[in-house]
Amino acid sequence: MTIQEQIRQKAQEYRDYTAVNLSKMIKAKSYSGKEEEVCRVISSLCGEAGFDEVYFDGLGSVIGRVGNGPKKIAFDAHIDTVEVGDPGQWNFDPFAGEIREGRVWGRGAADQKGGAASMITAGRILKELGYDGIFTVYFTFTVMEEDCDGMCWKYLIEEEKLVPDYVVSTEPTSLRLHRGHRGRMEIEVRLKGISSHGSAPERGVSAAYKAARAALAIEKLNDDLKPDSDNFLGKGTVVVSQIQVQGPSQCAVPDQAMLYLDRRLTWGEDADLAMSQVKKYVAEAVGDSEDEISVVMPFYAKTGWKNKEYGQELYFPTWKFPESHKLVQGGVAGYKALFQKDPVIDKWTFSTNCVATSGRHNIPAIGFGPGDEHEAHAPNESNRIDDLEICAAFYAMLPYSLQNSMQQ
Protein backbone atom coordinates (compact mmCIF):
# COMPACT_ATOMS: atom_id res chain seq x y z
CA MET A 1 0.00 0.00 0.00
CA THR A 2 1.38 3.44 -0.97
CA ILE A 3 1.90 6.17 1.63
CA GLN A 4 -1.02 8.16 0.24
CA GLU A 5 -3.29 5.11 0.46
CA GLN A 6 -2.26 4.54 4.06
CA ILE A 7 -2.92 8.19 4.91
CA ARG A 8 -6.35 8.20 3.27
CA GLN A 9 -7.28 4.99 5.06
CA LYS A 10 -6.21 6.36 8.45
CA ALA A 11 -7.94 9.72 7.92
CA GLN A 12 -11.15 7.85 7.13
CA GLU A 13 -10.65 5.56 10.11
CA TYR A 14 -10.25 8.62 12.38
CA ARG A 15 -13.17 10.54 10.87
CA ASP A 16 -15.34 10.32 14.00
CA TYR A 17 -12.30 10.92 16.23
CA THR A 18 -11.62 14.20 14.43
CA ALA A 19 -15.26 15.31 14.72
CA VAL A 20 -15.38 14.48 18.43
CA ASN A 21 -12.16 16.41 19.06
CA LEU A 22 -13.64 19.43 17.31
CA SER A 23 -16.74 19.10 19.48
CA LYS A 24 -14.56 19.07 22.61
CA MET A 25 -12.82 22.27 21.48
CA ILE A 26 -16.11 24.04 20.73
CA LYS A 27 -17.35 23.22 24.24
CA ALA A 28 -14.32 25.03 25.66
CA LYS A 29 -15.27 28.69 25.20
CA SER A 30 -12.19 30.62 24.08
CA TYR A 31 -12.55 34.32 23.46
CA SER A 32 -9.31 36.16 22.69
CA GLY A 33 -7.04 36.34 25.72
CA LYS A 34 -9.18 33.79 27.59
CA GLU A 35 -8.14 30.59 25.84
CA GLU A 36 -6.70 28.65 28.79
CA GLU A 37 -9.42 25.98 28.89
CA VAL A 38 -9.26 25.11 25.19
CA CYS A 39 -5.45 25.24 25.23
CA ARG A 40 -5.37 22.66 27.99
CA VAL A 41 -7.89 20.50 26.10
CA ILE A 42 -5.72 20.67 22.98
CA SER A 43 -2.52 19.95 24.91
CA SER A 44 -4.14 16.83 26.34
CA LEU A 45 -5.40 15.71 22.92
CA CYS A 46 -1.93 16.15 21.38
CA GLY A 47 -0.41 14.12 24.17
CA GLU A 48 -2.96 11.34 23.69
CA ALA A 49 -2.24 11.38 19.94
CA GLY A 50 1.41 10.57 20.68
CA PHE A 51 3.10 13.84 19.68
CA ASP A 52 6.83 13.89 20.40
CA GLU A 53 6.57 17.17 22.32
CA VAL A 54 3.78 19.46 23.51
CA TYR A 55 4.28 22.75 25.34
CA PHE A 56 2.86 26.24 25.86
CA ASP A 57 4.74 29.26 24.57
CA GLY A 58 5.02 32.49 26.54
CA LEU A 59 1.70 33.89 25.25
CA GLY A 60 -0.17 30.64 25.84
CA SER A 61 -0.26 29.08 22.36
CA VAL A 62 0.03 25.29 22.26
CA ILE A 63 3.02 24.01 20.29
CA GLY A 64 3.09 20.35 19.27
CA ARG A 65 5.95 18.61 17.49
CA VAL A 66 6.26 15.42 15.45
CA GLY A 67 9.58 14.37 13.93
CA ASN A 68 13.07 15.81 14.16
CA GLY A 69 14.22 16.62 10.63
CA PRO A 70 16.56 19.47 9.64
CA LYS A 71 13.77 21.48 7.97
CA LYS A 72 10.76 22.94 9.81
CA ILE A 73 7.17 23.08 8.61
CA ALA A 74 4.41 24.56 10.78
CA PHE A 75 0.68 23.90 10.49
CA ASP A 76 -1.18 26.72 12.21
CA ALA A 77 -4.70 27.13 13.61
CA HIS A 78 -5.82 29.95 15.86
CA ILE A 79 -8.04 28.59 18.59
CA ASP A 80 -9.63 31.79 19.90
CA THR A 81 -13.04 32.85 18.59
CA VAL A 82 -15.16 35.94 18.28
CA GLU A 83 -18.13 36.24 20.59
CA VAL A 84 -21.59 34.88 19.84
CA GLY A 85 -23.30 38.19 19.06
CA ASP A 86 -27.10 38.19 19.25
CA PRO A 87 -28.00 34.81 20.80
CA GLY A 88 -31.45 35.09 19.28
CA GLN A 89 -29.95 34.48 15.84
CA TRP A 90 -28.64 31.05 16.86
CA ASN A 91 -30.82 27.97 16.40
CA PHE A 92 -28.84 25.97 18.96
CA ASP A 93 -26.44 26.41 21.86
CA PRO A 94 -23.24 27.76 20.22
CA PHE A 95 -21.06 25.94 22.77
CA ALA A 96 -22.78 22.53 22.80
CA GLY A 97 -20.55 21.13 20.03
CA GLU A 98 -23.39 19.17 18.44
CA ILE A 99 -22.50 16.50 15.87
CA ARG A 100 -25.35 15.87 13.44
CA GLU A 101 -26.24 15.90 9.76
CA GLY A 102 -22.63 15.31 8.73
CA ARG A 103 -21.43 18.47 10.49
CA VAL A 104 -20.05 19.74 13.76
CA TRP A 105 -21.94 22.81 14.99
CA GLY A 106 -20.90 25.73 17.19
CA ARG A 107 -18.87 28.87 17.58
CA GLY A 108 -15.39 28.27 16.16
CA ALA A 109 -16.37 25.19 14.13
CA ALA A 110 -15.14 26.83 10.91
CA ASP A 111 -13.13 29.75 12.27
CA GLN A 112 -11.12 27.90 13.09
CA LYS A 113 -11.09 25.00 15.44
CA GLY A 114 -11.92 22.68 12.54
CA GLY A 115 -8.40 23.15 11.22
CA ALA A 116 -7.04 22.46 14.70
CA ALA A 117 -8.98 19.18 14.96
CA SER A 118 -7.66 18.01 11.58
CA MET A 119 -4.12 18.94 12.63
CA ILE A 120 -4.30 16.72 15.71
CA THR A 121 -5.44 13.80 13.56
CA ALA A 122 -2.64 14.47 11.08
CA GLY A 123 -0.09 14.38 13.87
CA ARG A 124 -1.49 11.08 15.08
CA ILE A 125 -1.30 9.66 11.54
CA LEU A 126 2.31 10.79 11.12
CA LYS A 127 3.28 9.16 14.42
CA GLU A 128 1.57 5.90 13.52
CA LEU A 129 3.32 5.88 10.13
CA GLY A 130 6.65 6.38 11.89
CA TYR A 131 7.37 9.60 9.99
CA ASP A 132 11.13 10.24 9.84
CA GLY A 133 11.49 12.58 6.84
CA ILE A 134 13.41 15.82 6.43
CA PHE A 135 10.88 17.90 8.36
CA THR A 136 10.33 18.65 11.98
CA VAL A 137 6.57 19.08 11.84
CA TYR A 138 5.14 21.70 14.18
CA PHE A 139 1.44 22.02 14.94
CA THR A 140 0.73 25.44 16.41
CA PHE A 141 -2.58 26.22 18.12
CA THR A 142 -2.32 29.96 18.51
CA VAL A 143 -4.00 32.59 20.67
CA MET A 144 -5.40 36.13 20.28
CA GLU A 145 -5.67 36.01 16.48
CA GLU A 146 -9.17 37.44 16.39
CA ASP A 147 -8.01 40.55 18.24
CA CYS A 148 -4.70 40.97 16.41
CA ASP A 149 -3.99 38.52 13.60
CA GLY A 150 -0.39 37.43 13.37
CA MET A 151 0.72 38.78 16.75
CA CYS A 152 0.98 35.24 18.12
CA TRP A 153 3.39 34.37 15.29
CA LYS A 154 5.30 37.62 15.65
CA TYR A 155 5.90 36.47 19.23
CA LEU A 156 6.85 32.93 18.21
CA ILE A 157 9.35 34.11 15.61
CA GLU A 158 10.84 37.14 17.33
CA GLU A 159 10.70 36.08 21.00
CA GLU A 160 10.65 32.27 21.01
CA LYS A 161 12.86 31.98 17.90
CA LEU A 162 10.65 29.35 16.27
CA VAL A 163 11.32 30.15 12.61
CA PRO A 164 9.83 27.56 10.25
CA ASP A 165 10.93 27.10 6.66
CA TYR A 166 7.31 26.70 5.55
CA VAL A 167 3.89 27.50 7.01
CA VAL A 168 0.44 26.07 6.31
CA SER A 169 -2.54 28.04 7.57
CA THR A 170 -5.58 25.87 8.26
CA GLU A 171 -8.11 28.72 8.13
CA PRO A 172 -11.22 27.73 6.13
CA THR A 173 -10.65 27.59 2.36
CA SER A 174 -13.52 25.32 1.21
CA LEU A 175 -10.77 22.77 0.46
CA ARG A 176 -9.07 25.11 -2.00
CA LEU A 177 -5.32 25.71 -1.95
CA HIS A 178 -4.63 29.34 -1.11
CA ARG A 179 -1.38 31.16 -1.89
CA GLY A 180 -1.98 34.66 -0.57
CA HIS A 181 -4.33 37.32 0.67
CA ARG A 182 -4.47 41.08 1.04
CA GLY A 183 -2.92 42.71 4.05
CA ARG A 184 -4.66 45.20 6.25
CA MET A 185 -4.14 48.01 8.70
CA GLU A 186 -6.17 50.23 10.97
CA ILE A 187 -5.92 54.00 10.73
CA GLU A 188 -7.12 56.75 13.05
CA VAL A 189 -7.81 60.22 11.63
CA ARG A 190 -8.28 63.17 14.00
CA LEU A 191 -9.68 66.52 12.94
CA LYS A 192 -10.01 69.81 14.82
CA GLY A 193 -12.69 72.45 14.65
CA ILE A 194 -13.42 75.59 16.67
CA SER A 195 -16.22 75.50 19.21
CA SER A 196 -18.88 78.15 19.59
CA HIS A 197 -22.32 78.36 21.15
CA GLY A 198 -24.88 76.24 19.32
CA SER A 199 -27.09 79.32 18.88
CA ALA A 200 -24.42 80.88 16.65
CA PRO A 201 -22.75 78.08 14.68
CA GLU A 202 -21.33 80.59 12.20
CA ARG A 203 -18.87 81.69 14.89
CA GLY A 204 -17.26 78.27 15.00
CA VAL A 205 -15.85 75.58 12.70
CA SER A 206 -17.69 72.29 13.06
CA ALA A 207 -15.51 69.21 13.39
CA ALA A 208 -18.68 67.20 12.65
CA TYR A 209 -19.01 68.71 9.19
CA LYS A 210 -15.31 68.15 8.61
CA ALA A 211 -15.80 64.51 9.60
CA ALA A 212 -18.70 64.18 7.17
CA ARG A 213 -16.63 65.59 4.31
CA ALA A 214 -13.69 63.42 5.34
CA ALA A 215 -15.88 60.29 5.28
CA LEU A 216 -16.99 61.08 1.73
CA ALA A 217 -13.34 61.62 0.79
CA ILE A 218 -12.53 58.14 2.09
CA GLU A 219 -15.37 56.77 -0.03
CA LYS A 220 -13.75 58.42 -3.07
CA LEU A 221 -10.34 57.04 -2.11
CA ASN A 222 -11.84 53.55 -1.97
CA ASP A 223 -13.22 54.01 -5.50
CA ASP A 224 -9.81 55.19 -6.76
CA LEU A 225 -7.75 52.27 -5.40
CA LYS A 226 -6.33 49.85 -7.98
CA PRO A 227 -5.78 46.05 -8.04
CA ASP A 228 -2.38 44.33 -8.04
CA SER A 229 -0.68 43.95 -11.42
CA ASP A 230 -1.80 40.34 -12.01
CA ASN A 231 -5.22 40.95 -10.39
CA PHE A 232 -4.82 37.90 -8.18
CA LEU A 233 -5.47 39.62 -4.87
CA GLY A 234 -7.66 42.35 -6.39
CA LYS A 235 -7.94 45.97 -5.34
CA GLY A 236 -7.23 47.45 -1.97
CA THR A 237 -10.16 48.87 -0.04
CA VAL A 238 -10.77 51.39 2.71
CA VAL A 239 -13.91 51.98 4.75
CA VAL A 240 -14.86 54.25 7.64
CA SER A 241 -15.80 51.89 10.47
CA GLN A 242 -16.37 54.46 13.24
CA ILE A 243 -16.95 58.21 13.56
CA GLN A 244 -16.80 60.03 16.91
CA VAL A 245 -17.51 63.74 17.39
CA GLN A 246 -17.33 65.77 20.57
CA GLY A 247 -17.31 69.32 21.85
CA PRO A 248 -17.79 71.33 25.05
CA SER A 249 -21.51 70.46 25.34
CA GLN A 250 -24.57 69.32 23.45
CA CYS A 251 -25.31 73.00 22.84
CA ALA A 252 -21.99 73.76 21.16
CA VAL A 253 -20.30 73.39 17.81
CA PRO A 254 -18.09 70.31 18.16
CA ASP A 255 -14.35 70.96 18.02
CA GLN A 256 -13.00 67.38 17.79
CA ALA A 257 -13.67 64.46 15.45
CA MET A 258 -12.19 61.01 14.93
CA LEU A 259 -12.64 58.63 12.02
CA TYR A 260 -11.50 55.02 12.32
CA LEU A 261 -10.60 53.28 9.07
CA ASP A 262 -10.27 49.65 8.01
CA ARG A 263 -7.77 49.57 5.13
CA ARG A 264 -7.16 46.39 3.09
CA LEU A 265 -3.85 46.39 1.24
CA THR A 266 -3.20 44.70 -2.07
CA TRP A 267 0.23 43.69 -3.38
CA GLY A 268 2.51 46.75 -3.62
CA GLU A 269 0.66 48.79 -0.99
CA ASP A 270 2.09 49.39 2.47
CA ALA A 271 1.40 51.43 5.60
CA ASP A 272 3.26 54.56 4.51
CA LEU A 273 1.42 54.68 1.19
CA ALA A 274 -1.96 54.08 2.80
CA MET A 275 -1.56 56.79 5.42
CA SER A 276 -0.25 59.33 2.90
CA GLN A 277 -3.28 58.68 0.68
CA VAL A 278 -5.67 59.23 3.58
CA LYS A 279 -3.97 62.46 4.60
CA LYS A 280 -4.06 63.80 1.03
CA TYR A 281 -7.71 62.98 0.36
CA VAL A 282 -8.94 64.22 3.73
CA ALA A 283 -6.93 67.46 3.57
CA GLU A 284 -8.36 68.28 0.17
CA ALA A 285 -11.90 67.56 1.37
CA VAL A 286 -11.87 69.55 4.62
CA GLY A 287 -9.68 72.43 3.47
CA ASP A 288 -6.95 71.93 6.06
CA SER A 289 -3.26 71.50 5.34
CA GLU A 290 -1.91 67.98 5.68
CA ASP A 291 0.09 69.12 8.72
CA GLU A 292 -3.13 70.01 10.52
CA ILE A 293 -4.57 66.51 10.18
CA SER A 294 -3.48 63.67 12.45
CA VAL A 295 -3.29 60.30 10.66
CA VAL A 296 -1.83 57.54 12.84
CA MET A 297 -1.64 53.76 13.09
CA PRO A 298 -2.97 52.59 16.48
CA PHE A 299 -1.03 50.21 18.72
CA TYR A 300 -2.57 47.07 20.18
CA ALA A 301 -1.51 45.50 23.48
CA LYS A 302 -3.18 42.83 25.57
CA THR A 303 -2.41 40.46 28.43
CA GLY A 304 -3.06 36.83 27.54
CA TRP A 305 -4.14 33.94 29.71
CA LYS A 306 -0.56 33.35 30.87
CA ASN A 307 -0.41 36.95 32.14
CA LYS A 308 2.10 38.00 29.50
CA GLU A 309 1.48 41.41 27.94
CA TYR A 310 2.51 41.79 24.32
CA GLY A 311 1.62 44.15 21.52
CA GLN A 312 2.26 45.56 18.08
CA GLU A 313 1.13 48.28 15.72
CA LEU A 314 -2.08 47.44 13.86
CA TYR A 315 -0.37 46.75 10.55
CA PHE A 316 -0.60 43.38 8.83
CA PRO A 317 1.40 43.18 5.58
CA THR A 318 0.18 41.66 2.34
CA TRP A 319 1.60 38.37 1.11
CA LYS A 320 1.41 36.06 -1.90
CA PHE A 321 3.58 33.41 -3.50
CA PRO A 322 3.58 32.36 -7.16
CA GLU A 323 1.85 29.20 -8.28
CA SER A 324 5.27 27.90 -9.36
CA HIS A 325 6.68 28.09 -5.81
CA LYS A 326 7.87 24.71 -4.52
CA LEU A 327 5.56 24.87 -1.49
CA VAL A 328 2.52 25.51 -3.68
CA GLN A 329 3.62 22.74 -6.01
CA GLY A 330 4.22 20.42 -3.07
CA GLY A 331 0.66 21.11 -1.96
CA VAL A 332 -0.67 20.44 -5.44
CA ALA A 333 1.28 17.18 -5.63
CA GLY A 334 0.06 16.00 -2.23
CA TYR A 335 -3.56 16.80 -3.01
CA LYS A 336 -3.35 15.08 -6.39
CA ALA A 337 -1.73 11.99 -4.90
CA LEU A 338 -4.53 11.70 -2.34
CA PHE A 339 -7.56 12.59 -4.44
CA GLN A 340 -6.50 12.03 -8.08
CA LYS A 341 -7.34 15.57 -9.16
CA ASP A 342 -5.78 19.02 -9.05
CA PRO A 343 -6.87 21.44 -6.31
CA VAL A 344 -8.41 24.80 -7.07
CA ILE A 345 -5.81 27.48 -6.34
CA ASP A 346 -7.24 30.64 -4.80
CA LYS A 347 -6.87 33.29 -2.08
CA TRP A 348 -8.64 34.43 1.09
CA THR A 349 -10.78 37.54 1.27
CA PHE A 350 -10.04 37.96 4.96
CA SER A 351 -6.74 38.07 6.84
CA THR A 352 -4.85 35.28 8.65
CA ASN A 353 -1.79 34.72 10.82
CA CYS A 354 0.23 34.61 7.59
CA VAL A 355 0.43 38.41 7.77
CA ALA A 356 3.20 37.76 10.31
CA THR A 357 4.86 34.61 9.01
CA SER A 358 4.78 35.64 5.37
CA GLY A 359 3.87 39.33 5.16
CA ARG A 360 6.26 40.41 7.91
CA HIS A 361 8.90 37.64 7.80
CA ASN A 362 8.61 36.38 4.20
CA ILE A 363 8.29 32.70 5.16
CA PRO A 364 6.63 30.76 2.31
CA ALA A 365 3.05 29.80 3.13
CA ILE A 366 -0.04 28.17 1.72
CA GLY A 367 -3.53 27.75 3.10
CA PHE A 368 -5.78 24.71 3.12
CA GLY A 369 -8.58 24.38 5.61
CA PRO A 370 -11.95 22.76 6.33
CA GLY A 371 -15.14 24.76 6.08
CA ASP A 372 -16.16 27.93 4.32
CA GLU A 373 -14.97 31.49 4.79
CA HIS A 374 -18.53 32.83 4.92
CA GLU A 375 -19.17 30.81 8.12
CA ALA A 376 -16.60 32.92 9.99
CA HIS A 377 -18.16 35.21 12.62
CA ALA A 378 -21.67 34.19 11.50
CA PRO A 379 -24.48 32.71 13.62
CA ASN A 380 -25.19 28.97 13.33
CA GLU A 381 -21.56 28.26 12.42
CA SER A 382 -20.66 24.71 11.43
CA ASN A 383 -18.10 22.59 9.60
CA ARG A 384 -18.42 19.54 7.36
CA ILE A 385 -17.00 16.30 8.76
CA ASP A 386 -16.02 15.38 5.18
CA ASP A 387 -13.77 18.46 5.14
CA LEU A 388 -12.17 17.51 8.46
CA GLU A 389 -11.26 14.08 7.08
CA ILE A 390 -9.85 15.48 3.82
CA CYS A 391 -7.76 18.09 5.64
CA ALA A 392 -6.35 15.58 8.11
CA ALA A 393 -5.16 13.50 5.14
CA PHE A 394 -3.71 16.54 3.35
CA TYR A 395 -1.75 17.74 6.39
CA ALA A 396 -0.28 14.28 6.95
CA MET A 397 0.58 13.94 3.26
CA LEU A 398 2.25 17.33 2.77
CA PRO A 399 5.59 16.58 4.49
CA TYR A 400 6.02 13.62 2.14
CA SER A 401 4.93 15.39 -1.06
CA LEU A 402 6.91 18.54 -0.27
CA GLN A 403 10.05 16.51 0.36
CA ASN A 404 9.56 14.81 -3.01
CA SER A 405 9.03 18.18 -4.75
CA MET A 406 12.18 19.61 -3.17
CA GLN A 407 14.26 16.65 -4.31
CA GLN A 408 13.12 16.77 -7.94
Of the residues 35, 111, 145, 171, only one is catalytic, namely 145
**140 burial type by CB count under 10 A (0-12 exposed, 13-18 middle, 19+ buried):** buried
The residue from 35, 57, 80, 381 that is catalytic is: 80
Give CA 200 to chain center in angstroms: 50
CA distances from 202 to 205, 206, 252 (A): 7, 9, 11
> Catalytic residue at 381?
no
- Name the CA dihedral angle for 320, 323, 324, 326, rounded to a multiple of 10 degrees: 70
The sign one gets for the Cα dihedral 39, 72, 176, 100 is: negative
* Interior/surface letters 93-132, b for 16+ CB within 10 angstroms, e for the rest: ebeebbbeeebbbbbbbbbbbbbbbbbbbbbbbbbeeebe
Q: CB under 8 Å to 334, separation ≥6 — which residues?
A: 394, 397, 398, 400, 401, 402
Q: Yes or no: say if 140 and 156 are a contact pair by the CB < 8 Å rule.
A: yes
First to last CA, the chain: 23
Q: Are strands 294-296 and 53-56 parallel, antiparallel or unpaired?
A: unpaired
- H helices, E strands: number in the chain: 10, 19
Burial class (CB in 10 A: 0-12, 13-18, 19+), 309: exposed
Whole-angstrom distance, CA of residue 194 vs CA of residue 206: 6
Active site residue 76: no
Catalytic residues: 80, 145
